[in-house]
Amino acid sequence: MVEILIVAALVLWSAVVVFKKVFPKTSGAVFLKLSNFCTEKGWHGLAKWLKPAAAAGCGGSCGCDSQDQPAEKKVEVQAVKWK
């Protein structure tokens, strides 16, 4: 019985992680609605935990930094020529 609960919790957690990765905007909207619902019910700790993080950077969920500084130019690696 305990094994079934553990496996079910792992499958549910994995589904949530994949949902957040594949559908970032939809998952943000869903978790915001869940957070607002929990706030209305008075479950402030759960609401704070469910509330999605504010988008940083360009706001497009692309993973860019929140700072507008240009990226440092990387030095090209040159091939070694053997004589």
Q: What is the DSSP letter of 59?
A: S
Query: What are phi and psi for residue 42, nearest 5 degrees?
Result: 95, 10
The pTM of this model reads 0.58
**E strands in 1-83:** none
pLDDT of the residue at 42: 92
* Number of Cβ atoms within 10 Å of the Cβ of 35: 19
Residue whose token pair is 């079934």: 4
pLDDT tens per residue across span 12-59: 999 999 999 999 999 999 999 999 999 999 999 989 988 888 765 565
The domain locations on the chain are 2-50
Rounded to whole angstroms, the Cα distance separating 28 from 35 reads 10
CB 51 within 8 A of CB 30: no
pLDDT of residue 75 exceeding 90: no
Question: Any idea what the Cα angle at residue 22 is, between residues 16 and 25, rounded to 5°?
Answer: 90
pLDDT of the residue at 66: 55
